[in-house]
Amino acid sequence: MFNKIIDKIKGAGVLSLSLEEASKKASRSMGCYKLYLDGVKYVGRAENGLRKEFDRLYNLKGRTLAEKEIKANRDKISVSFVILPTKEKCREIEMKWINQLKPEWNKLKM
């Protein structure tokens, strides 16, 4: 019973997950996310669904500098996210977090 509750909380982004775990358990709803590796390294939005975005990130080919960093560290990265109701809200929160946190990998252009 307790494990089912923890899984629901993780699936809603309340607790942090590994990138691999998020690619399998995160919500399919749209939202914004943060990637962590000794602090926030990247902030993004997932307008087509969080789980789909985490799966994409976990399986990157590594073309841009940011993608290369994510690919090289994919098994060390943890994620947190928030579910949002609209694409406009996703864009708003993503920009707010980028401006506040100034994540290193966002500067490398995805």
Q: 22: which 2 tokens?
A: 């998020």
pLDDT of residue 62: 86
Model pTM?
0.87
The Cα-based distances of 81 to 6, 43, 63, 95 in angstroms read 16, 10, 24, 14
Q: 105: which 2 tokens?
A: 């990998």
pLDDT of residue 5: 46
Q: Is the pLDDT of residue 18 over 90?
A: yes
**CA pair distance 60, 3, nearest whole angstrom:** 30
Interval 20-77: pLDDT, tens:
999 999 999 999 999 999 999 999 999 999 999 999 999 998 889 999 999 999 999 9
Given a contact cutoff of 8 angstroms between Cβ atoms, the answer to whether 33 and 79 are in contact is yes
Q: 66: which 2 tokens?
A: 């940011």
Q: Is the pLDDT of residue 6 over 60?
A: no
Side chain identity at 91, as an amino acid letter?
A: R
